Amino acid sequence: MKKIVVLLMVMSSFSAISQTNEGVVKYTRTTYWTKLISQLSYVTKQEKDKMSYMFGGRDDWKEYMLLYFNENGSRYTHSEEKSDESEGYDWGKQEFNINRNFEKNTMTDLVDFLGKGYLIEDSLQTPKWKILNDLKDVAGHICMKAMVEDTVKKQKIIAWFAQDIPLNAGPERLYGLPGMILELDINDGAVIIEATKIELKKLGNEMDLPKKLKGKKLTEKGYQEMLYKFVKEKTKEENANWIWMVRY
């Protein structure tokens, strides 16, 4: 009964909030390295112990991301805010410029893979989400739960989406739910991407694609095949080095 009341409250707010259908969401992306590595079944105990010792008492690494959105699309990229440093080294920012055009049903993504830029241009291919009944508050918004699996990286992904922001955008390369995705949980907390601030406002040119997006062009299928081959090869080596080479 409580869930029904909450959902009715959310639905009643649609008309007011949907009048402002553009803005920016700030996300904090936290990677918990020790937990991530401990879940890799093919990594030896010796390697896991080595990684745990290396990270010591602090194994979380944060980076800050921005999602610009309007009713026609979204753009997800790094914030100017500096990411965490580890042991005195700045791990830097890899290319990650994720663009969705919902009006034209297209994607234009610039990603880094092994230090090389790739430009993924294709039609949108919505993830096969399973929507669940759970509810949770994220950044002041009542969110519903959904789940999908990444069969290439062997990930279980939980998303929390806000129906009172009725746009199907989201962080990372994920989208396609009946509401803005405000939180992602990858493999039971190995990586958490959480909205910390949501600002509904009129945008300027933040949604514009950079004039020069340089990278080797691929389709989504081509990118996934390249990623699958790489992960398969590294898995055979029984070490966790690949998780530093691609975005987990």
Per DSSP, what are the bridge partners of residue 96? 111
Q: Which residue has the higher pLDDT, 47 or 156?
A: 156
Rounded-to-integer distance, Cα 95 and Cα 110, Å: 6
Measure Cα distances from 61 to 96, 193, 196, 241 in Å.
Answer: 17, 12, 16, 16
> How open is the CA angle 139-246-44, to the nearest 5 degrees?
100
**Residue-level pLDDT at 57:** 59
Burial class (CB in 10 A: 0-12, 13-18, 19+), 16: exposed
Q: How confident is the model at residue 130 (pLDDT cuts 50, 70, 90)?
A: very high
Asked if the model's pLDDT at residue 92 lies above 60, the reply is no
Domain segments of the chain: what residues? 2-244
Task: Give 82 or 139, the one with higher predicted confidence.
Answer: 139
The per-residue DSSP string of 224-235 comes to HHHHHHHHHHHH
Q: What is the pLDDT of residues 152-164, one digit of tens each?
A: 988 999 999 999 9
Share of the chain above pLDDT 70, in %: 82
Instruction: Please give the share of the chain, as a percent, with pLDDT higher than 90.
Output: 59
The answer, yes or no, to whether residue 124 has pLDDT greater than 50, is: yes
Confidence of residue 23 (pLDDT cuts 50, 70, 90): very high
**Rounded mean pLDDT of 51-72?**
83
The confidence score (pLDDT) of residue 88 equals 40
SS3 of residue 41 by DSSP: coil
Q: Distance (Å, rounded) from C-alpha 137 to C-alpha 151?
A: 28
Rounded mean pLDDT, 106-127: 94
Is the pLDDT reported for residue 90 higher than 60?
A: no
**Dist CA 60 CA 36 (whole Å):** 10
The reported pTM is: 0.86
pLDDT at 86: 45
- If phi > 0 it is left, if psi is from -120 to 50 it is alpha, else beta; for residue 16 that is alpha
Average pLDDT in the 206-217 region? 85
CA 157 to CA 147: how far, in whole Å?
6
Residue of 190 and 241 predicted with greater confidence: 190
Q: At 19, is the pLDDT very low, low, confident or very high (cuts 50, 70, 90)?
A: low
Does residue 233 register a pLDDT over 90?
Answer: no
CA angle (29, 194, 157) in 5-degree steps? 85
Q: What is the pLDDT of residue 37?
A: 80
